[in-house]
Chain A
Amino acid sequence: RKEVEQDPGPFNVPEGATVAFNCTYSNSASQSFFWYRQDCRKEPKLLMSVYSSGNEDGRFTAQLNRASQYISLLIRDSKLSDSATYLCVVNEVGGNKLVFGAGTILRVKS
């Protein structure tokens, strides 16, 4: 079983739609969680950290469910510019290795 699993998609949505991605992780000792965004042929960039209480950044909301070992990302009012691959990233407690999921492809169309 992979350490971090994501639905690869692609998710094809119209502009203005709300879309949600889930990610599951296998190591219950995992401590820190992130969503990174990767545009085509570009390097990954941090989108947001995921906190236990859930957190929001504009149109983006991240949630963590430790009991079920999953993380979610909700994007409201999708824009064309949101089209990218969204990578779920997990870090073990006390560790420095960040493990990436395979990514979920989002395509927002007009």
Chain B
Amino acid sequence: DTGVSQNPRHKITKRGQNVTFRCDPISEHNRLYWYRQTLGQGPEFLTYFQNEAQLEKSRLLSDRFSAERPKGSFSTLEIQRTEQGDSAMYLCASRGFGTVNNSPLHFGNGTRLTVT
């Protein structure tokens, strides 16, 4: 399977715990995105990487959230001191070189986080 891969698929954690999600993009894609989606809403932008550089981060992303893409390949999203409001589907997407018109986003299956 050469699509975007996310792990784990599901994560249940207690409030206050830290969690880390991993995303493996399509191998030739240099751009990587993290989005969050809650029920009845569209994906909400969290952050964007071009290669290993984090070029954009949503103002909605609190200091408890951090993302890395150390070698420009896979990426991790960590949430510290989780809160119930963090419960959502966390989606990773990647796209290749070129403009958004000729290089669309490819999403992974997502990681569903439940904070109890």
How far does the alpha carbon of A34 sit from the alpha carbon of B105 in the complex, in Å? 11
A100/B44 contact (C-beta < 8 A), A44-B107, A45-B107 known: yes
Of B62-70, B71-79, B96-104, which binds chain A? Answer: B96-104
Q: What range describes how many residues of B lie at the interface?
A: 20 to 34
Contacts of A43 in B (CB 8 A): 91, 107-110
Give A99 to B100 CA distance when docked, in angstroms: 12
Of the candidates A8, A44, A96, which one forms a contact with B50 in the assembled complex, judged by CB atoms under 8 Å apart? A96
Please report the C-alpha to C-alpha distance between residue A45 and residue B50 in the assembled complex, in whole angstroms. 21
Interface residues as binary, A40-65 with B (CB distance below 8 Å gives 1, 0 otherwise): 00111110010000000000000000
User: Of all chain B residues, which has the CB nearest A32?
Assistant: B100
Contacts of B109 in A (CB 8 A): 42-43
Query: In the complex, which residues of chain B have a beta carbon less than 8 angstroms from the beta carbon of A46?
Result: 104-105
CB-CB under 8 A from B8, the residues of chain A are: none
> A102 contacts B104, CB within 8 Å?
no
On whether the beta carbons of B42 and A49 are closer than 8 Å, the reply is no
Beta-carbon nearest neighbor of A6 in chain B: B42
On chain B, the residues within 8 Å of A32 by CB distance are 99-101
Contact call A97/B45, Cβ cutoff below 8 A: yes
Kindly identify, within residues 1 to 18 of chain A, every residue whose CB is under 8 Å from any CB belonging to chain B: 4, 8
Show 26 residue pairs from A and B whose CB-CB distance is below 8 angstroms, ordered by the A residue: A8-B40, A32-B99, A32-B100, A34-B100, A36-B105, A43-B108, A43-B109, A44-B105, A44-B107, A87-B42, A91-B100, A96-B31, A96-B56, A96-B100, A97-B45, A97-B48, A97-B56, A98-B33, A98-B45, A98-B100, A99-B45, A100-B35, A100-B42, A100-B43, A102-B41, A102-B42
